[in-house]
Amino acid sequence: MTTREPLRVSVVAKEKEFRLYRASDFHDLPEMRYLVEDIFPEQGLLCVYGSSGVGKSFLCLDLAAAVAEGVDWFGHPTQQGDVVYVALEGQAGLRLRVKAWEAHHGRPFPSGVRFVFEDFFINDLKEPHQLGLKILHGNGSGDYCDPVLVIIDTLNRAAPGSDENSCPDMSGIITGATMLRMTTGAAVLLIHHPGKDAARGLRGHSSLHAALDTVVAVDEDGEVIRWRLVKSKDGENGLSHGFKLKTIEVGVSSSGKPRKSCVVESVEGYVSTKHMSGPRGSHQQVILKAAREALIEHRVNRFNEDFPEASFVGMPFNDLLNLVYEELDEVQKSHRKDRARQALKRLCEMGYLEMEDEYITPTPWSN
């Protein structure tokens, strides 16, 4: 019996350039960007956890609506964008929750929130990858979904059969969540439960807490429910707000009994003096919409699950310009390209698109 020689692969290391910064250079570095100001960062792995029945899913549905509309959440400005809510628990009750939200707010639930009801296994890497691509493709016919947030309700239902106290099993869950984040470019929020001793925080192996960028705890506080920021890698821990679950009637059942659900109602608030606004120029609005669609398609087409980070390489400025400038059809043809070039550069300066070394990538934006 002969022994096969091990396969040897020659790897040529790509030359990487490093730059040394002084403290005086820091003003040139990008500032921390938030999905929800001072609470949830624009990128990363997030978690909201609390005991069963405390209201954490109601809270996250309220968060999803606020982000999709770009309105303040408990007084904290949000960065507007699409949201995907993967509802693995209480799908039947979710319809009532949406109806209750609409009745309470007097308007339709934001169309920027999409829901997924199929079973989803986060620790099977193929599924986060497939779900991520489906999210980016949307339902076809140009119905793109460009998410800034994906919510998994709940971690336990997304990892059936896993031992949350096992380091290898928890590592698989974290890897799956990271794959979903890298595929979509969105922050991923896991809804979870506390351990047997709630004072010790999240249920499961400590590697989960270590991997998370932000953790929000939800628990009862006297007559109200309170969410508390218990971990923030780049912010201030300890922010908290009280809320109640207000009961709303949403019709009657076939037997004539009233159907009810709840909505989140803040009982105290924080008011920010900061204001986020979207691009005001008509040319900028047209070019931003076209650019984001082109960049999403570019990301989808170049995605490689073996090298997911490569998906985040942007599109060269001039290539993107050539794809979008004809959208300015109300501009005289000889001037369209110049107007589009000006709009693209201005959008990069304002932070609605990011440009590094002449490569452009999308960022969330608000109106």
User: What is the mean predicted confidence (pLDDT) over 236-254?
Assistant: 87
**Which sequence spans correspond to the domains of the chain?**
34-266, 282-362
Which contacts (CB < 8 Å, 24+ apart) does range 221-229 have? Answer: 224/267, 225/54, 225/55, 227/48, 227/59, 229/39
pLDDT digits (tens, 9 = 90+) for 298-337: 877 776 655 555 555 678 999 999 999 999 988 888 889 9
pLDDT digits (tens, 9 = 90+) for 125-152: 899 999 999 988 877 666 778 899 999 9
**Would you call 239 exposed, middle or buried from its count of C-beta atoms within 10 A (0-12, 13-18, 19+)?**
middle
Number of C-beta neighbours around residue 66 at 10 A: 21
Under the banding of pLDDT at 50, 70 and 90, the label for residue 5 is low
- Is it the case that residue 277 has pLDDT exceeding 60? no
User: Mean pLDDT of all residues in the chain?
Assistant: 84
Under the banding of pLDDT at 50, 70 and 90, the label for residue 361 is confident
**Would you call 258 exposed, middle or buried from its count of C-beta atoms within 10 A (0-12, 13-18, 19+)?**
exposed
Interatomic CA distance for residues 331 and 115, integer angstroms: 39
The percent of residues above 90 in pLDDT, for the chain, comes to 47
Amino acid identity at 122 = I
Q: Which fold is adopted by the domain 34-266?
A: Rossmann fold (3.40.50)
Residue partners of 282: CB distance under 8 A and separation at least 6: none
pLDDT digits (tens, 9 = 90+) for 80-130: 999 999 999 777 789 999 999 999 999 999 999 999 999 999 999 899 999
pLDDT digits (tens, 9 = 90+) for 221-233: 878 899 999 998 8
Number of C-beta neighbours around residue 169 at 10 A: 17
Cα 207 off chain centre by = 21
User: What is the mean predicted confidence (pLDDT) over 279-290?
Assistant: 83
Q: What pLDDT, on the 0 to 100 scale, is given for residue 195?
A: 84
User: What is the mean predicted confidence (pLDDT) over 262-285?
Assistant: 67
Interatomic CA distance for residues 276 and 217, integer angstroms: 27
**Which tokens in the block code for residue 180?**
């979903």
Which pTM does this prediction carry?
A: 0.70
CB-side exposure of 290: number of CA atoms within 13 Å? 20
Q: What pLDDT, on the 0 to 100 scale, is given for residue 306?
A: 58
pLDDT digits (tens, 9 = 90+) for 22-41: 888 777 777 778 999 999 99
Among 39-43, 125-129, 156-160, 278-282, the minimum mean pLDDT is found in 278-282
Q: Show the DSSP H helices in 138-198 as ranges.
A: 155-158, 167-184
Under the banding of pLDDT at 50, 70 and 90, the label for residue 181 is very high
Using CA atoms of 355, 359, 361, 366 in order, give the dihedral in degrees to the nearest 10: 30
User: What is the mean predicted confidence (pLDDT) over 7-12?
Assistant: 46
Question: Do 47 and 153 form a contact (C-beta atoms < 8 A)?
Answer: no
Handedness of CA 116, 59, 276, 229 (dihedral sign): negative
The DSSP 8-state label assigned to residue 94 in this structure reads H
- The continuous run of DSSP H or E covering 153 comes out as strand 147-153
pLDDT digits (tens, 9 = 90+) for 205-218: 989 989 999 999 99
b (16+ CB within 10 A) / e for 244-254 = ebeebebeeee
**Which tokens in the block code for residue 18?**
């490093």
pLDDT digits (tens, 9 = 90+) for 37-85: 999 999 899 999 999 889 999 999 999 999 999 999 999 999 999 999 9
